[in-house]
Chains A and B, each alone.
Chain A
């Protein structure tokens, strides 16, 4: 047995099929030859490396990437695609993601809790950028049949529709250290995260995983004046926390198995959502809708994110009536799940207004206000522009008169 023979064995993928006699000869040689011994160990470790499964949405992203024009800016734009990721819808959808993540983080030590502060309304959204234009001719309440093109704004602030949690830094995990990182970032008009920077952090080791995770998040960009727009200077905080008792009693195993199953389904759901997002980013509205249809067939109609996405997509298509239906279903799904912390209230009210259903627009604002005052949803900001426009039409409600 020579070094050459050993190299040939390694090259020929026969390690696992060696007979005892040949193996003994090799061992004899390895004991005497430091180089071959090192080479053998290296090959063994390489073979033992666990290669993860391919991300489900990789094909779609790769195909999208291959279609993009190869000018320099386009290549930059392509980068976020590689970070995997997820889409965003209105602020509503984020709440679901959040609660799912938080719930699931309990049984395992290694899943960080992700929290998102509400992004401040972007400065460029000034009062002179009306959500829905109203002109004197079409201002009559209940103006059915009027088909003027009105432009709808989807949300006051933006939030990711789905997020992947960051890694738990290994050292921090060993020391059972909690942490948080505050980040600043921009969202492009295609919904990708860019220009991530750390505002402050409890500990430097959390920063890199935070940046990595955030870079992979995806947003449904706000729609202003009929266009998807970028949003600058968004803020978020990512927190890592360890559950106190990380050894659940035996009777919780069933629960854990269920949670893990839910987590797996949710991850698959997110991957599929990415496909719809990528198609939307490529302006393939029809393809995006088909993907959502398929997801509805697979996952059922119980995911608010799905309806939120439909609502967004129909808004982009200019099909406001279908968008209204979809957003109402989002709210119904939220309510059925008993976790309506947030919802597509702003786009829904704006859509009703755009379709001249002013009573319904008002009613949506009133419903939102009532839920907020009972503490069941978060404050998503005052839709003061719309309230003022309704008031100009003589429509108001006492709950909307108090700040």
Chain B
């Protein structure tokens, strides 16, 4: 069944250059690597069925991110999994040689968890807008991804940030790991 694999090298070529950007946004949407991959795969599944559209696009990345946005906001497949958390998903080949100590790592994880925990309390659209905005996309790109007008977008982004900031403040500073020493 090699033919199955080789059927659409074109799809690979069209998608591969944008995969990192897609994964980064998906990670910000979901807060963990596995769910992010889930989103990316779903995007690829949907994009593949629109290969004809994909090959005509001037901005395939924006289009792919638009799908990612919809996938996330519409709610990906429900899964019995504990709430979003960010920890080292696997033992990570990418960690640099100045590896943080376990304590440092645990502390960074706590700070991340606090942020990701607060993000889960936003509604999905708010979270998605923040995720894509923080990834560096411009308002023009965001309007293309979300089909919102620039004014609505700006207002919602601001409200989302205010809400997130207040959630974070309510949670207090990231706790430190006094116990580990």
Q: Which A residues contact B (CB, under 8 angstroms)?
A: 3, 7-8, 10-13, 35-43, 45-47, 49-56, 58-59, 61-63, 65-68, 70, 78, 81-84, 104, 108-111, 164-165, 167, 170, 173-175, 208, 212, 216, 246, 257, 260, 263-264, 267-268, 271, 279, 282-287
What residues of A have a CB within 8 angstroms of the CB of B84 in the complex? none
Taking A38-B169, A42-B168, A82-B41 as contacts, is the C-beta distance between A282 and B180 under 8 angstroms?
no
Q: Which of B14-28 contact A (CB under 8 A)?
A: 15-16, 19-20, 23-24, 27-28
Q: Does B63 sit within 8 A of A, measured CB to CB?
A: no
Instruction: State in angstroms the CA–CA spacing of A82 and B41 once bound together.
Output: 8
Closest A residue, CB atoms, query B134: A46
Taking A7-B157, A51-B28, A110-B102 as contacts, is the C-beta distance between A84 and B44 under 8 angstroms?
no
A38's partner among B27, B115, B136, B162 (CB-CB below 8 A) is: B162
- Complex A-B: 11 CB contacts under 8 Å: A39-B158, A46-B28, A49-B115, A52-B92, A58-B40, A59-B15, A110-B102, A173-B180, A174-B179, A260-B99, A264-B93
B106's partner among A55, A170, A257 (CB-CB below 8 A) is: A170
Closest A residue, CB atoms, query B42: A65
* Chain B interface mostly: helix
Instruction: Write the B119-160 contact mask toward A (1 if CB under 8 angstroms, else 0).
Output: 000000000001001101011000000000000001001101
* Chain A interface mostly: helix
What residues of A have a CB within 8 angstroms of the CB of B41 in the complex? 61-62, 65-66, 78, 81-82
Q: In the complex, are the beta carbons of B164 and A42 less than 8 A apart?
A: yes
What residues of B have a CB within 8 angstroms of the CB of A38 in the complex? 161-166, 168-169
What residues of B have a CB within 8 angstroms of the CB of A286 in the complex? 2
Instruction: State in angstroms the CA–CA spacing of A175 and B15 once bound together.
Output: 45
Taking A59-B16, A62-B41 as contacts, is the C-beta distance between A54 and B157 under 8 angstroms?
no
A167's partner among B88, B138, B179 (CB-CB below 8 A) is: B88
Q: In the complex, are the beta carbons of B27 and A52 less than 8 A apart?
A: yes
